[in-house]
Each structure stands twice: as structure tokens, then as C-alpha cells.
Structure 1
Amino acid sequence: MDLSNCPKCGEIFVKNAVREMCEKCFREEEKLFQKVYTFLKKRENRAATIETVVKANDVEAELLYKWIKKGKLHTTLFPNMGYPCDNCGTIITKGKLCDKCSNTITSELAIFEEEKERMEKLHRSTYHSQK
């Protein structure tokens, strides 16, 4: 049994793999989810953006990002929904990084590996003499 404080209200609760908050806050969040999901299920709202959903439902964008990341809101059903890249903040629909940041990191890593190999070759071909 793992006791923890609810990140929303501070109340002590038994933490488990399913819930990261107390029962009261969990129920409140579920009510908000149902409100947002009902809004998005309407044909005219399926192409709504994060900003539109936030304004229409009085919900925080961070909560929408959380639901998308957890798979409660599917970007295949709601194409204008997403969450920010962990590095630059560009809205994405999968993973943690946008393509640009991912490509930048990959290319920087390749340059680092090339430099490392070059230094290792240089070190191996250097001869030392003693007096």
C-alpha cells in the first residue's frame, strides 16, 4: 500500500497504478472528460482545435494533453487535437518529440559518433616514445 498526497487537492489517498489522484478529484476529472467527449462527438465539433475545446468546455489545455497522451482522446477521430513536443512545444499527435526535434537530435548524435570515432582512430595511431 502506497500513500500519497493528491496532486490537485493535497488529500492523502492510496496510490495505485490506475489512479494518480484521490477519488474526489478523479470523479471531477471524469465528469470533465465526459463533457469534453460529448462536445467532440458532435459532428460539427470533431475538427475542433485545443483552443476551441478549452473555451467551449471551460477545461485546461493541460488536461486535454493528458487525455490525448493517455489515449482517452484519439487524434485519429479528432484530427486537430494534439499535445506539445517535449522540446519545442509544436503540437504533435504521437511520441514525445516532433519530427524536426527528433531529426535534429539524430543528426547531432551522428555527428557526435563520427567525432568520437575520429578521436579513437587518432588515439590509436598516436605513438609515444620514452626518453
Structure 2
Amino acid sequence: MGEVANCPRCNAIFMKGAATVCPDCQRQEEKDFQTVYAFMRKKQNRSANVKEIEYHTGVEEKLIRRFVAQKRLHPAQFPNLMYSCEKCGAGIQDGRLCSSCTEEIEGGLKQVARNQELEEKKKQAESARNRTYYSVKND
């Protein structure tokens, strides 16, 4: 069962579950989506960017970008639609991170893996050095 929360848009109290806004704001968001989608379906508007869509429909940019991020508006059909990279804010059409942030994170992970391998090799070498046995001959 959901928890009681305040709607981030209108501050009304509602039961938070799958929806992150109250039912009234959810209906308004759906109406805004239909407005944006109707605008984008027109052939002359398919290459519109987010700012142009916002200007012509009155739907705020943040909401349009959320529709793209939720895959309700597909960038494959509308090539100028983008949303923000979660790390740097660059415009992207797919995933959660842009390619440069993805490469940066992957590079960091590879460096951590190399460092762990080097530490493991050092431990093995130290362990091998400590395994030497000496015998003492008593006459």
C-alpha cells in the first residue's frame, strides 16, 4: 500500500504509489501529454525541439523532457527531442548518461579493477616470500 505524501506540483495530500503526483495533477499531466503529442504528430512539427514545443503548446520544458525520458515520446520518431544526462546535464536521447559520462565512469571502474589486481599480486608476492623455510642442522 502507498504512503501519504504531498503532491510536488500542487502540494495536495494523496496516497503515493506508482504515481508521483496527485490524481488531479496526473490528469493534467496526461492532458499536457496529449497536447504535446497532438502538436508533434503534425508533419511540420516533427523536427521541433523542446523549446519550440514549449512555446507552441504551453507545456513546461521539464514535463516535456520527462515524457521523453519515460519513452512516451520517442526520439526515433522526433529527432530533436532530448532530455538531460543525469550527471552533467548534456542533451541525450537514450539511456541515463551521455557517452562522455559513461566513458568517464567506465574508465574509473577499470582503474579500480587494475588497482585491485595490483594489490592482489602484491599480497601473493608477499605471501610467497614468507613461505620460505630454513632448516637448522644440529651436530
TM-score by length of 1: 0.88
| Cα displacement (A) at 1:58 | 2.0
After superposition, residues 92-111 of structure 1 pair within 5 angstroms as 92-111=92-111
Q: Flag structure 2 segments of 5+ consecutive residues without an equivalent.
A: 131-139
Secondary structure of the structure 1 residue equivalent to 2:35: helix
Secondary structure of the structure 2 residue equivalent to 1:14: strand
AA aligned to 2:62 is: E
| 1:30 corresponds to | 30
| 2:11 corresponds to | 10
AA aligned to 1:36 is: V
AA aligned to 1:37 is: Y
| Cα displacement (A) at 1:59 | 2.0
| Cα displacement (A) at 1:97 | 0.6
Secondary structure of the structure 2 residue equivalent to 1:13: strand
| 1:119 corresponds to | 119
d(CA) in 2 for partners of 1:21, 1:85: 23
Q: Flag structure 1 segments of 5+ consecutive residues without an equivalent.
A: none
After superposition, residues 62-77 of structure 1 pair within 5 angstroms as 62-77=62-77
Deviations 1:112-131 (A, max 9, x none): 21112112211221246xxx
| Cα displacement (A) at 1:25 | 1.0
Deviations 1:97-123 (A, max 9, x none): 111111121122112211121122112
TM-score by length of 2: 0.83
| Cα displacement (A) at 1:78 | 0.7
Displacement over 6 Å in runs of 4+: none
Deviations 1:60-97 (A, max 9, x none): 22111111111211111111101111111111111111
Matched residue count? 128
After superposition, residues 33-52 of structure 1 pair within 5 angstroms as 33-52=33-52
AA aligned to 1:49 is: N
Identity %, equivalent residues? 36
Secondary structure of the structure 2 residue equivalent to 1:125: helix
Structure with greater Cα Rg: 2
